[in-house]
Chains A and B, each alone.
Chain A
Amino acid sequence: MEKDQDKILNDVTSGEYKYGFYTDIEMEQIARGLNEDIIRTISGKKSEPDWLLEFRLKAFRHWQTMKMPQWANLKIPAIDYQDIIYYSAPKKKASPESLDDIDPELKKTFDKLGIPLEEQKHLTGIAVDAVMDSVSVKTTFRETLAESGIIFCSFSDAVKEYPELVKRYMGTVVPYTDNFFAALNSAVFSDGSFCYIPKGVRCPMELSTYFRINAANTGQFERTLLVADEESYVSYLEGCTAPMRDENQLHAAIVEIIAENNAEVKYSTVQNWYPGDKGGKGGIFNFVTKRGLCRGDNSKISWTQVETGSAITWKYPSCILRGDNSTGEFYSVAVTNNHQQADTGTKMIHIGRNTKSTIVSKGISAGEGQNSYRGLVKVLKNATGARNFSQCDSLLLGDKCGAHTFPYLEVDNQTAIVEHEATTSKIGEDQIFYCNQRGISTEDAIGLIVNGYAREVINKLPMEFAVEAQKLLQISLEGSVG
């Protein structure tokens, strides 16, 4: 009986990664390694102003004084930072003013990923900034958005066209001194997305960035900076994939969000980096610093993440609730299958009065996957009336995987109300058989049960993304049965 169940779970948890192809395209790369010259080269390639080069160099010098942190519940092989190529870009013919200037191979690649770069193909009205390796390939709907005063462009373009905005906000939420990977990113970041929603504007379409790692031996280090001015609203999506390779590749990004008075930002991620093979070989190390600052009163930042990919996921999308009555939310589904590891969660820092935060974390472990929730709820002395609700659930498929929960609470205000709930459950053979007996295959049964379990989080995603995420959950946990 045990054996049968193991077999079923083994069969259904061995799905294939569908985005593991590689695009053979001419690349412009710099030498491997990391030193001040490399940083100057990256900055030079992007014709950056001196202030930005200075920022990079300061970050690099600081990074050299730091050691990789060891506190996570992760087994991370040694990373040789001198063995990584820090800049790798598809060769382009001058600057792509129109789509015709983009290499057809690149267009094909993004088509294959389901991210058409032609605006007319986007019936659903999602603007995309498509990033391959170290550069942004194309940002769609820039002009349409500009009509409402919205700036949506690659980070590199923002540095050139809106240096004052970048200077004012960059590094204010995640300073380069923040942590080891934030310092590394600040030194070598190559591109990413920039978005500014002006006062009183409700962004008319979903904005998104699609990250693709293509080249071998590279790392991807992008920055996203999202500023929502007073009374504005934006919903932002992020997706990512990478080819299947035997080596691990490093993805160390920074996302900074600033929400001013009465502004609301919804940030959704469907993370599907290559998770490595069934034996645990290869896959992306996804070490990302994501943080939002509710700077204004009544502002709101909401993180939703569906993490199915990466060999190792290590990130804590967080909210600093500085404005009075500001709200932070974190909804997460993290899947670890085969030999995947995840140590993910959030930090909610309550500074302003009557600040509220909600944390819903759903971990799913299969195969030999290890899944940890780690979360900090901190209520500062002046945060009168702060409220937090945290719910951390773990679902286990099989008996070789693990689920761990590390909640931290630091409460310095007597009026705060902080609640924490946690559950751990297993998909039972009985549940699967019950579905079988109604005509539902084991594969579909696990899909139903897992999606039911994750429903509360999936429902927070924008509609089309929710459908994608459901399929992805099923694919990452399922394969051919028997």
Chain B
Amino acid sequence: MLIIKDLKAAIDGKIILKGISIEVKPGEIHAIMGPNGSGKSTLAAVIAGREFVEVTEGTVTYEGKNLLEMAPEDRSKEGIFLGFQYPIEIPGVSMVNFMKTAVNEHRKHKGLEPLSASEFLKLMREKKELVEIDSKLANRSVNEGFSGGEKKKNEIFQMSMLEPKLAILDETDSGLDIDALRIVANGVNKLKRPDNAAIVITHYQRLLDYIIPDVVHVLYDGRIVKTAGKELALELEAKGYDWIKQNVEKNDLP
């Protein structure tokens, strides 16, 4: 589904990603872990198409297409969803209006008729229950005045509305209490199907108690320094990132 090969990328001339290769297959959940500043969010930004990240080398192929040539909105419509680490506030634009525009753009892309107001509201009600989101949020402006937890739940809500093929969750767990964490994780698990995939970016192992990854990658200083099964997350939790750092410095990976 997603093949990243030897990806190098820079921000303002500073090289952040120094050669990354990952392959995500349908039905898989990948976790990307790593200390702060290792390049996790930059990787998410490249996949979503943020223009301030400059790809200097390598390729990203999504469903056989060159992803790097696609506009961000087309990536979205082709099924890539990014859950933002810091969701953006858009004053004056109601969640209903925002999501209706987004859902209908996706439908147009698939050659479907736009949803009527009542169909849309019905869909919105269903999905709100799924992520246990306060029904009042729908009438408020996008993320404006939302608490940290509400913002993250809102990301999962939007994900469930758009039903992506590939969801990338960028530190969705940061700043969440245990209840919110459970809701966010449940949202992700309920959307899991054999034909879609997710990349979960996280600093802590905690989220992976709820979302069981198939593959865990450790990102350090712009490189994937270790890839293994779900047990790697537990090992990291026990030994800490210093363990990785030391191994990398010794050039002696376990």
Return chain B residues, CB-CB under 8 Å to A451.
92-93
Question: Given that A452-B90, A455-B92 are known contacts, is A439 also in contact with B73, CB under 8 Å in the complex?
Answer: yes
Interface residues of B in 69-89 (CB under 8 A from A): 71-73, 75-77, 81-82, 84, 87-89
Residues of A within 8 A of B82 (CB): 437
Minimum CB–CB distance from B200 to chain A (whole Å) comes to 17
Q: Known A1-B52, A448-B97, A448-B98; judge A434-B88 contact (CB<8 A).
A: yes
Flag whether B37 is at the interface (Cβ < 8 A): no
Q: Please classify how large the interface on chain B is, using the bins under 10, 10 to 19, 20 to 34, 35 or more.
A: 35 or more
| Binary contact readout B192-226 vs A (1 if CB under 8 angstroms, 0 otherwise) | 00000000000000000000000000000000000
Nearest opposing residue in chain B for A7, CB measure: B51
* Interface presence of A441 (CB below 8 A): yes
Q: Check B93–A433 contact: CB distance below 8 A.
A: no
Residues of A within 8 A of B12 (CB): 1
* Residue A37, interface by CB 8 Å: no
CA distance A4 to B59 in the complex (A): 22
Stretch from B99-107, B174-182, B183-191 contacting the other chain? B99-107
From the candidates B51, B87, B94, B105, name the one contacting A439 in the complex (CB within 8 A): B105
Chain B residues with Cβ below 8 Å from A433 are 50, 72, 88
Contact B76 A438 (CB under 8 A): yes
Residue pair A437, B72 in contact (C-beta under 8 Å):
yes
Cβ-neighbour of B76 out of A1, A439, A442, A448 (below 8 A)? A439
User: How many A-B Cβ pairs are below 8 Å?
Assistant: 83
- How far is B103's CA from A439's CA once the two chains are assembled, in angstroms? 8
Question: B89: which A residues are within 8 A, CB to CB?
Answer: 431
Partner of B93, one of A425, A430, A436, A448: A448
B125-184 CB contacts (< 8 Å) to partner A: 141-142, 158, 162
Minimum CB–CB distance from B129 to chain A (whole Å) comes to: 21
- A198-243 residues with Cβ-Cβ distance < 8 A to B are none
Q: Is B48 in the interface zone, CB < 8 Å from A?
A: yes
Q: Total interface residues on A, using CB and 8 Å? A: 24
The distance in angstroms between the C-alpha atoms of A294 and B37, with both chains bound, is 64
- Given the contacts A1-B52, A434-B84, A444-B101, A439 and B93 also touching, CB distance less than 8 Å: no
Contact status A448-B84, CB under 8 Å: no
Q: Is B109 located at the chain interface by the 8 A CB criterion?
A: yes
A21 at the interface (CB under 8 A from B): no
* Any B CB within 8 A of the CB of A453: yes
With A1-B51, A4-B51, A439-B105 known as contacts, the answer to whether A430 contacts B92 (CB < 8 A) is: no
Q: Report yes or no: B73 in contact with A430, Cβ–Cβ below 8 A.
A: no
A440 touching B51, Cβ below 8 Å: no
B39 within 8 A of A: no
Tell me, in angstroms, the Cα distance from A449 to B72 when the chains sit together.
18
A392 to chain B, nearest CB (A): 16
Distance of A439 Cα from B70 Cα, bound (Å): 12
The 3 closest A-B pairs by CB, nearest first: A452-B92, A452-B93, A436-B72
A interface list, Cβ under 8 A from B: 1, 4, 425, 428, 430-431, 433-442, 444, 448-449, 451-455
- B residues contacting A by CB (< 8 A) are 12, 48-52, 71-73, 75-77, 81-82, 84, 87-94, 97-99, 101-102, 105-106, 109, 141-142, 158, 162
List 5 additional contacts besides A433-B50, A433-B88, A436-B73; criterion CB under 8 Å: A437-B73, A437-B75, A438-B99, A439-B105, A448-B90
* 22 examples of A-B residue contacts, CB within 8 angstroms: A1-B12, A431-B88, A431-B89, A431-B90, A434-B87, A434-B90, A434-B142, A436-B73, A437-B72, A439-B76, A439-B77, A440-B73, A441-B71, A441-B105, A444-B105, A448-B93, A452-B90, A452-B92, A452-B93, A452-B94, A452-B141, A454-B92
